[in-house]
A and B are shown apart, each in its own frame.
Chain A
Amino acid sequence: MTTKPSMKAFTEQVTELPPGLSPVDNYAGERLMTSPFHERQAALNLRDSWEAWNGYKFANHYYDVEYEYICIRNLCGTYDITPMQKYLIEGPDAEAMLNRMVTRDVNKLKVGRVTYCCWCTDEGRMIDDGTIFKLDEGRYMLTSGSPSNAWLRMAAFGFENVTYVDKTDDIGALSFQGPMTCEVLKKMGFEGIDTLKPFGIMHFPFAGDTIMISRTGFTGDLGYELWITADKGLELWDALYEAGADYGIQPYGEAATSMARLEAGFILPYVEFAESLKTVHFKHDQTPFELGLGWLVDFKKPHFSGRAALLEEKKRGPGYVLTKIEIEGNKPAEESHLYRDKACRKEIGWVTSAMWSPVVKSNIALAMIQPKYLSGDIWAEISYKKEMKPRWKIAKCTVVDKPFYTPARAKATPPPKF
């Protein structure tokens, strides 16, 4: 039997608190959670530039966005992906369940490999994208940008032998990206890490525990993602930063990530796509075909959720397709409308993300464009400001087929030494 604390005990407790601090945090449930790496990251966040992702406090940038970006491209950096949702999906039916849920064929995934995937509503509209890690036969980790508990629960209904557990808070995860990363990991003693192929997984003993390292990332460059039990987070951080000190290791935040991923041609939720379950208006969400992710949709599978609708969409052809374009000049075409003619009479699309790319040395963008106009002229109407004065210009656009930035080292195994 538990005894109720007496009022006396309660007031004693209060007097022990520092003066001015209420014993009860009225906002406890509202406060952002902190990741296992927070202590170190907070110390390095010179700009106190924090945002929220899935209830976690996480950095927009630490010091300077451009500097962090340059570290990713030339040295190495860490990006805290702990807030990314991680689910352990296990059981004899795990593969079948995932195969029913995602558009890709999970059958083809081998143990120790990772695959990028997306899942859709019955209407074939994209709910989220993520990665599936095949940890073992009948044992997978699924990651997603937004919480997917509700969808997993629905998708698992009807499978008797599958469990899914939200591991988000139990696993600390760091995305470690840049040309120096392999060197740093080798220096840490992860022997054989240089043999790890893109989308491969390796496990190493670390701090009396096991660290999982996957050769994955969101920058289009050489990089790894490190997965560790949450309470070993700081040990990992310290070891990594010690080994990386000579290699210019630097934490980077959301802003630098967004630049790197655009160069790699990757999409972001609420920038390129609206999560279907959260849109209010009909068709304000997208199909994988609209997002240029048709290659993720495997119609050879007899069934997956949304298959019938996606087959229709494929036959009909999407109304807009996400397209990579280069724009003349150097004014980023942020939020630009696109036209078929220089006179801007016939609108054919809009820009979703744009930047001047320092590595490609080009003015790049992702844009939604009506496919029938892709072969003709495309013009962007760019608004910008010169010392606060609004200006605009019309610039010619060229369609690009390949990701803007694809360094050979990203795919090389072993990666080139430095």
Chain B
Amino acid sequence: MAGSSYDALVIGAGHNGLACAAILAKAGQKTLILEANETAGGLAGTREFTAGFSAPMAHSAAALPKTMIDELKLSSYGLEVGPALETVGLSEDGQHVHVIGDTVTGATDADAAAYPEYRAKLQRYAKVLKPIWEATLPRIGASSLKEALIYAQGALKMRMLGKEDMSEFLRILTLPMRDLVDEVFEDPKLQAVLSWDGLIGSKMAPRSPNNAVLPMLLRLGGVHGGDHMVPKGGMGAITKALLAAAQKQGVEVRFGAPIKKVIVEGSEAGQKATGVELVNGEIISAPKVISSADPKTTFFDLVGAPAFDVQFASRIKRLRAQGYVARFNAALSGLPDVPGLDGLSGRYIIAPSFDAIEFAFDDAKYGDASQHPVMEVTFPSVHDASLAPEGKHVLSAHVMYAPHDERSDWSHDARIRFTKAIGDALERHMPGIGSLIIQAELLTPKDIAADYHVAGGHWHHGEMALDQMLMMRPTYHAAQYSTPLQGLYLCGAGTHPGGGITGLPGRNAARQILR
């Protein structure tokens, strides 16, 4: 395009926007990232929630694949993969369940004996899906050989499982988490812990139908085969490395540059995106506008529904993208002393059973915040001392369930009630923690939506459910990173393979755009 100095504009410096831009720039595209916030990382960024105390939003990574780290040479930009974290199902009586690698302790012997085989099975299945996550999935009805091969590759991997295993794979794919887990395990805490990663971020509880297994298998594709990880120096290292990698390739990044709208120009040749207008009125043109913002924000707020066909817009409108996870950050005067725990570098689940999660969900289904929330807790300052003043610490909790559309629209009272419920649960499992809290912050999905410009405040920019995954993410005619609007592309968590820290949507998008 004449007069524009950029080949590509990327909306958002979240981890996917950074990954996408880095690959585009590496291929010689002059790329500019425009980020509304003052820092990079988006939902994987770090926030100072009270003076001197910061917490990473995504506080651990499970799904980040090695291929991604290698392709962008993130190690050379300071990313050092940390060891696998243990996941602990906390018990009020100190009899916790620990899961790491192939080892389960604190549950029954039978559970411990069954775990390695269960894990190996899921890892085999995760491997089958790997080529699927890492490719652009062909449009339904597409018939080129190259595209067909992507499915063939998956099918071949599936065949290589053997007949029994293949049937088992197909059987479990659509199970609710509860059915998957309680076929094998009996300890209630272990059951809850093992179902957690299939649910978190979505509007789902253990009994919910609609495929929790598929997103869980995506998470199993990470460096530790499903175990979570915090890089050396903390979660911030991921964003730092991605930003450095992108800048090294020549990507320009502008912070504090919220985009008001994507500019659409129409003529007899049709309409196309030709650039963006910033909130401050500045106009920047480029032939490619690539949005890492979620689909609803991109299509409706930045472009506007009228630019799309009626049924397409209607499908985007109906996307389920209401967040159900709140974030609780606390500044601590010191680390709690939790009976039965040795150090606090792991991931701690406060959810004693399937039912505890399910009942918490029941409240949320009808628009209330859970009366007895369940949560996942980490202490990020244990991994990254820079997050808190010396000797002090930070607690980060992902709390379920907190509906974005809470009945009272998150009135002051509702927030107080929910915060108190979180505090009670923490105190019961980590006695004395209340007296260590100097300052705390509750981020409901509504707050997350406002601070991070993501519709519904959804972790994954949209439910990770079968009808919104694969070649349907976010919906057909926009599932190949291109959109019905010429010149507009998507590259965020709302596209295949979805949310969580993977960098895959960003990378797949860049590859597709460069084709």
* A residues neighboring B (CB under 8 Å): 96-97, 100-101, 121-122, 151, 154-155, 157-159, 299-303, 305-308, 311
- If A299-B268, A303-B271 touch, does A154 touch B313 (CB 8 Å cutoff)? yes
Q: How far is the CA of A158 from the CA of B304 in the complex (A)?
A: 6
Considering only CB atoms, which chain B residue lies closest to A153 in the complex?
B314
CA of A119 to CA of B300, assembled, Å: 22
**Interface residue? B311 (CB, 8 A):** yes
Contacting pair A96 B306 (CB below 8 A): yes
* With A121-B311, A122-B311, A302-B271: A159-B306 Cβ-Cβ less than 8 Å: yes
Contact A151 B310 (CB under 8 A): yes
Chain A at the B interface: SS class: loop
By beta carbon, the residue of chain A nearest B268 is A300
- Point out the residue from B265, B271, B313, B484 that lies within 8 Å of A158, measured CB to CB: B313
Whether a CB of chain A sits under 8 angstroms from the CB of B267 is: yes
Identify which of A96, A157, A302, A306 contacts B270 (C-beta below 8 A).
Answer: A302
Distance (whole angstroms) from the CB of B488 to the closest CB of chain A? 13
A157 & B313 in contact (Cβ 8 Å cutoff)? yes
Indicate if the CB atoms of A154 and B271 lie closer than 8 Å. no
Report whether B270 and A122 are in contact in the complex, using a CB–CB cutoff of 8 Å: no
With contacts A154-B313, A303-B266, A305-B310 known, what are 9 further pairs, Cβ within 8 A?
A151-B310, A154-B311, A157-B310, A157-B317, A158-B313, A306-B309, A307-B309, A308-B309, A311-B270
Q: Which residue of A lies closest to B484 (CB)?
A: A308
> In the docked arrangement, what's the CA distance between A96 and B311, Å?
17
A230 to chain B, nearest CB (A): 30
Knowing A157-B305, A158-B304, A308-B484 are in contact, say whether A302-B310 is a contact too (CB < 8 A).
Answer: no
Q: Which residues of A contact B311 (CB under 8 A)?
A: 121-122, 154, 305
CA distance A158 to B296 in the complex (A): 12
Bound Cα distance A305, B266 (Å): 14
A329 to B319, CA, bound (A): 59
> B297-338, CB under 8 A of A: which get 1 and which 0?
000100011110111111001000000000000000000000
| Chain A residues within 8 Å of B270, by CB | 302-303, 307-308, 311
Contact indicator B267/A154 (Cβ below 8 Å): no
Q: Which residues of B contact A308 (CB under 8 A)?
A: 270, 309, 484
**B317–A122 contact, CB under 8 A?**
no
Q: Which residue of B lies closest to A306 (CB)?
A: B309
A299 nearest CB neighbor, chain B only: B268
Q: Using a CB–CB distance below 8 Å, which chain B residues touch chain A?
A: 265-271, 300, 304-307, 309-314, 317, 477, 484
Rounded to whole angstroms, the CA-CA distance of A158 and B309 in the bound complex is 11
State the CA gap A151–B307 with chains docked (Å): 16
Q: How far is the CA of A157 from the CA of B300 in the complex (A)?
A: 10
Closest approach, in angstroms, between the C-beta of A345 and any C-beta of chain B? 32
Say how far A123's CB is from chain B's closest CB, in angstroms. 8
Query: In the complex, A153→B307 CA distance in Å?
Result: 16
Min C-beta distance of B428 to chain A, whole Å:
47
Most buried by B among A100, A101, A311: A100
Task: Compute how far the CA of A182 lies from the CA of B311 in the bound complex, rounded to whole angstroms.
Answer: 43
Q: In whole angstroms, how far apart are the Cα atoms of A187 and B308 in the complex?
A: 50
Contacts of B304 in A (CB 8 A): 158
Are A302 and B300 interface neighbours, CB within 8 A?
Answer: no
Contact of B268 among A121, A122, A159, A302 (CB under 8 A): A302
Which one, B266, B269, B306, B310, contacts A122 given CB within 8 A? B310
Instruction: Tell me which of A159, A303, A305, A311 has the highest count of chain B C-beta atoms within 10 A of its own C-beta.
Output: A303
Q: Lowest 5 CB-CB distances: which A-B pairs, in order?
A: A158-B305, A302-B266, A122-B309, A302-B271, A305-B310
Q: Are B307 and A303 in contact (CB under 8 A)?
A: yes
Bound-state CA distance A303–B266 (Å) is 7
Q: Which one of B271, B306, B312 has the highest number of Cβ atoms from chain A below 10 Å of its Cβ?
A: B306
Least CB distance, A162 to chain B, in whole angstroms? 10
B89 to chain A, nearest CB (A): 45
Shortest Cβ distance from residue A106 to the other chain B in the assembled complex, whole angstroms: 13
- Who on chain B is nearest to A277 by CB? B311
Contacting residues, chain A, for B269 (C-beta < 8 A) = 302
Contact A100/B268 with A157-B305, A158-B304, A158-B305 known, Cβ cut-off 8 Å: no
Complex CA–CA separation, A219 to B364 (angstroms): 59
| A and B contact pairs by CB, cutoff 8 A, 27 listed | A96-B306, A97-B306, A121-B310, A122-B310, A122-B311, A122-B312, A154-B310, A154-B313, A157-B305, A157-B313, A158-B300, A158-B304, A158-B305, A158-B306, A299-B268, A300-B268, A302-B265, A302-B266, A302-B267, A302-B270, A302-B271, A303-B270, A305-B310, A306-B309, A308-B309, A308-B484, A311-B270
CB distance from A141 to the nearest CB of B (A): 20
Q: What separation, in Å, do the CA atoms of A327 and B306 have in the docked complex?
A: 46
Contact assessment for B312 and A100 in the assembled complex, using a CB-CB cutoff below 8 Å: no
Q: In the docked arrangement, what's the CA distance between A302 and B267, Å?
A: 5
B484 contact set on A, CB distance < 8 A: 308
The residue on B at minimum CB distance from A307 is: B270
Q: How far is the CB of A257 from chain B (nearest CB, A)?
A: 30
> Chain A residues with Cβ under 8 A from B310's Cβ?
100-101, 121-122, 151, 154-155, 157, 305
Which listed residue (A154, A302, A311) contacts B314, Cβ 8 A? Answer: A154
User: Across the interface, which residues of A come within 8 angstroms of B267, CB to CB?
Assistant: 302
Chain A nearest CB: distance from B298 CB in Å? 13
Which residue of the partner chain A has the closest CB to B477? Answer: A122
Alpha-carbon gap, A100 to B265, bound state (A): 15
Distance in angstroms between the alpha carbons of A100 and B305 in the assembled complex? 10
- Bound complex: CA of A97 vs CA of B313, how far in Å? 13
**In this complex, which of A155, A302, A307 has the most chain B Cβ atoms within 10 angstroms of its Cβ?**
A302
Q: Which residue of A lies closest to B317 (CB)?
A: A157
**B317 / chain A contacts, CB cutoff of 8 Å:** 157
- On chain A, the residues within 8 Å of B305 by CB distance are 157-159
Q: How far is the CB of B175 from chain A (nearest CB, A)?
A: 32
User: Which of B300, B309, B477 is packed against the most chain A CB atoms within 10 Å?
Assistant: B309
CB neighbours of A311 from chain B (8 A): 270
Identify which of A96, A121, A308 gathers the most chain B CB atoms within 10 Å of its CB: A308
* A119 shortest CB reach to chain B, Å: 8
> Which chain B residues border A151 with CB–CB below 8 Å?
310
CA distance A154 to B477 in the complex (A): 18
A101, A154, A299: most-surrounded residue (chain B CB, <10 A): A154
In the complex the two chains form, what is the Cα distance from A306 to B484 in whole Å? 11
Bound CA–CA A155/B306 (angstroms): 8
B269 (CB) vs chain A CBs: closest residue: A302
The distance from the CB of B240 to the nearest CB of chain A, in whole angstroms, is: 39
What B residues does A302 contact at CB under 8 A?
265-271
A386 to chain B, nearest CB (A): 50
B134 to chain A: closest CB distance in Å? Answer: 29
* A276 CB, min distance to chain B CBs, angstroms: 10
- List A contacts of B306 (CB < 8 A): 96-97, 100, 158-159
Q: Which residue of A lies closest to B476 (CB)?
A: A122
Nearest-CB distance from B12 to chain A (Å)? 22
- How far, in angstroms, from A158 to B316 measured CA to CA in the complex? 12
Closest residue of B by beta carbon distance from A100: B306
Alpha-carbon separation in the docked complex, A269 to B300 (Å): 34
* Nearest opposing residue in chain A for B307, CB measure: A303
Closest chain B residue to A123, Cβ basis: B311
B443: min CB distance to chain A, Å: 29
The minimal Cβ–Cβ distance linking A408 to chain B, given in whole angstroms, is 36
Give the residue among A154, A155, A158, A308 with the most B Cβ atoms within 10 A: A158
Q: Which residue of B lies closest to A159 (CB)?
A: B306
CB-CB under 8 A from A101, the residues of chain B are: 310
List, in ascending order, chain B residues with CB within 8 A of A122's CB.
309-312, 477
Specify which chain B residues have a CB less than 8 angstroms from the CB of A307 in the assembled complex: 270, 309
Assembled-state Cα–Cα distance A385/B268 (Å)? 54
A311 vs B305: C-alpha distance in the bound complex, in angstroms? 21
- The residue on A at minimum CB distance from B486 is A308
Chain A positions within 8 Å of B477 at CB level: 122
Contacting residues, chain B, for A121 (C-beta < 8 A): 310-311
Cβ of A159: which chain B residues have Cβ within 8 Å of it? 305-306
Residue of A nearest to B303 (CB): A158
For residue B310, which residue of chain A has the nearest CB?
A305
Residues of A close to B309: CB separation below 8 A:
122, 305-308
CA distance A159 to B503 in the complex (A): 35
